[in-house]
A and B are shown apart, each in its own frame.
Chain A
Amino acid sequence: MAYDKFNILTSSAVPLPIENVDTDQIIPARFLKATERKGFGDNLFRDWRYNSDNTPKEHFVLNNPIYSGKILVGGKNFGSGSSREHAAWAVYDYGFRCVVSSFFADIFRNNCLNIGVLPVQVSPEFLDKIFKAIEGNPDTELEVNLPEQTITLLETGEQESFAINEYKKGNLKNGFDDIDYLLNIKSNIEEFAQNTPL
Chain B
Amino acid sequence: MSKTLFDKVWDSHVVQHIENGPDVLFIDRHLVHEVTSPVAFLGLKNRGIKVLYPERTFATADHNTPTINQHLPVKDELSANQLKALEENSKAHNIPYWGLGHEKNGIVHVIGPENGITVPGATIVCGDSHTSTHGAFGAIAFGIGTSEVEMVLSTQCIMQPKPKSMRININGELSPAVTPKDVALFIISKLTTSGATGYFVEYSGEVFRNMSMEGRMTVCNLSIEMGARGGMIAPDEKTFDYIKGREFAPKGAAWDKAMTYWETLYSDSDATFDKELTFDASEIEPMITYGTNPGMGMGIQNEIPMAEQVEGGSATYRKSLAYMEFNEGEAMIGKPIDFVFLGSCTNGRIEDFRAFASIVKGRKKADNVTAWLVPGSHKVEEAIKREGILDILNEAGFELREPGCSACLAMNDDKIPAGKYAVSTSNRNFEGRQGPGARTLLASPLVAAAAAVTGKVTDPRELLELQEA
Please report A residues at the B interface, Cβ cutoff 8 Å.
1, 17-20, 22, 24-25, 28-30, 32-37, 47, 52, 75-77, 80-86, 88, 103-107, 110-111, 114-115, 165-168, 177-179, 181-183, 185-186, 188-190, 192-193, 196-198
Given contacts A83-B129, A84-B36, A197-B121, contact A22 B151 (CB under 8 A): no
Chain A hits for B312, CB < 8 A: 19, 76
Question: A119 to B42, alpha carbons, bound, how many Å?
Answer: 26
CB distance from B183 to the nearest CB of A (A): 21
Chain A residue nearest in CB terms to B127: A83
Chain B hits for A88, CB < 8 A: 145
Question: A183 to B227, alpha carbons, bound, how many Å?
Answer: 31
Give me 22 A-to-B residue pairs in the complex whose CB atoms sit less than 8 angstroms apart, sorted by A's number: A18-B316, A24-B428, A24-B432, A29-B410, A29-B411, A33-B78, A35-B39, A47-B432, A47-B436, A77-B197, A80-B193, A81-B430, A85-B36, A107-B145, A167-B20, A168-B21, A182-B157, A185-B16, A192-B26, A193-B156, A196-B28, A198-B121
Chain A residue nearest in CB terms to B39: A37
B261 within 8 A of A: yes
Question: A196 to B146, alpha carbons, bound, how many Å?
Answer: 25
Question: A118 to B50, alpha carbons, bound, how many Å?
Answer: 30
Binding-face segment, B79-87, B278-286, B299-307, B444-452: B79-87
B194 within 8 A of A: yes
CB distance from A21 to the nearest CB of B (A): 9
Would you call A80 and B293 a contact (CB within 8 A)? yes
What is the total number of residues of chain B having a CB less than 8 Å from a CB of chain A?
81
Would you call A111 and B147 a contact (CB within 8 A)? yes
Chain A hits for B96, CB < 8 A: none
Question: A36 to B410, alpha carbons, bound, how many Å?
Answer: 21
CB distance from A168 to the nearest CB of B (A): 7
Chain B residue nearest in CB terms to A181: B159
B155 within 8 A of A: yes
Would you call B38 and A35 a contact (CB within 8 A)? yes
Given contacts A22-B293, A106-B198, contact A189 B26 (CB under 8 A): yes
Chain B residue nearest in CB terms to A31: B411
Chain A hits for B143, CB < 8 A: 83, 107
Given A85-B36, A107-B229, A168-B21, list of 7 further CB < 8 A pairs? A22-B428, A25-B431, A32-B36, A33-B82, A34-B78, A37-B42, A107-B143
B60 within 8 A of A: no
Chain A hits for B145, CB < 8 A: 83-85, 88, 107, 110-111, 114
**B20, B39, B261, B410, most chain A CB atoms within 10 A:** B39
Would you call A182 and B194 a contact (CB within 8 A)? no
